[in-house]
Amino acid sequence: MNQSIKSFVRARTRLSKLNRFLLNNSPSASFCKVEHFESFDCNQSSDKRILEIGFGDGENLISSAQNNLNFFFFGVEVYEMGVANILKSMETNGISNVKIILGDVKEVLEKNSVEDYFDEILIFFPDPWPKRKHNKRRLVSEDFLFEIKKILKKDGVLIIKTDWKEYAEEIEQNVKKVFGRYKKSLDKKSNLVTKYEKIALKENRKITSFETY
Ligand SMILES: C[S@@+](CC[C@H](N)C(=O)[O-])C[C@H]1O[C@@H](n2cnc3c(N)ncnc32)[C@H](O)[C@@H]1O
């Protein structure tokens, strides 16, 4: 997988002291930075393991974790502010069935050594990189999906949503090549509307969802 082309630009926001503290002192059971990541693993027994990639502000992750206490969730995100906010929310709400990894998911997948591990993997509204010269930055490439397929259980499900028509076409080609079997839906109702889904709805963009099986 090409790790040198980044699917994100690091934000230059200054973190508050509290946020910096959370990123440096959160317990290892619930948080790690990619440089310390070794592999996905959780010692707790859980009915399902779910991974959300690029969770942004983390509203879906928090709500899903609170509503499914017998599931274990992993979230990977590069956006420090989003990670600090979710760590705060996990602490305030006593959420212990989530582990957050701060860093580039491609690096996380390079380091990971477990396969057939997740029941569900979610990628909601990956950055569309609409300018043609930036298309290479799109996360959901064929190579990336091959890596995702390795960590998904044989009967696991990958769900991807996008509001960008051209990206939806590219994702469909890649999903077809790598997974073969998938369902495609237009404007499917979500259990929880994320920040970027809200923007898409406000700007009247159609939402395409892919679900492999
Ligand atoms: C458009 S936002 C969508 C956020 C959220 N899923 C939502 O629906 O509101 C895309 C998110 O993916 C994250 N992201 C992009 N590339 C990533 C990567 N390689 N590893 C981890 N997160 C990434 C960005 O930081 C950003 O928060």
Read off the pLDDT of residues 40-90 as tens digits, 9 standing for 90 and up: 987 778 999 999 999 999 999 999 999 999 999 999 999 999 999 999 999
CA of 121 to the centre of ligand 1 (A): 14
The more confidently predicted of residues 136 and 190 is: 136
From the candidates 41, 104, 127, 143, which is the catalytic residue?
127
In the chain, what are the domains?
29-36+48-113 (3.40.50.150), 136-213 (3.40.50.150)
CA 83 – ligand 1 centroid, Å:
11
Please give the distance, rounded to the nearest whole angstrom, from the Cα atom of residue 181 to the centre of ligand 1.
25
Buried (b) or exposed (e) across 77-92, using 16+ Cβ within 10 A?
A: bbbbbbbbbbbebbee
Whose Cα sits closest to atom 14 in ligand 1? 54
Q: Which residue lies with its CA nearest to atom 21 of ligand 1?
A: 77
Mutate to test the pocket of ligand 1, among 77, 148, 163, 195 (most ligand atoms within 8 A of CB): 77
Q: What does the pLDDT read at residue 190?
A: 86
Between CA 198 and CA 204 the distance in angstroms is 10
Distance CA 147, CA 51 (A): 13
Give the three-class secondary structure for 206.
coil
Q: Provide the whole-model pTM.
A: 0.97
What share of the chain has pLDDT > 70, as a percent?
99
Tokens of 109: 């997948």
Q: Could you tell me what percent of the chain has a pLDDT over 90?
A: 90
Residue 158 contacts residue 152 (beta carbons within 8 Å): yes
**Residue 163 bears catalytic tag:** no
**How many whole angstroms separate alpha carbon 53 and alpha carbon 127?**
12
Residues 6+ apart with CB under 8 A from 146: 1, 178
Angle between helices 142-151 and 165-179 (to 10 degrees): 50
Residue with tokens 């994100």: 8
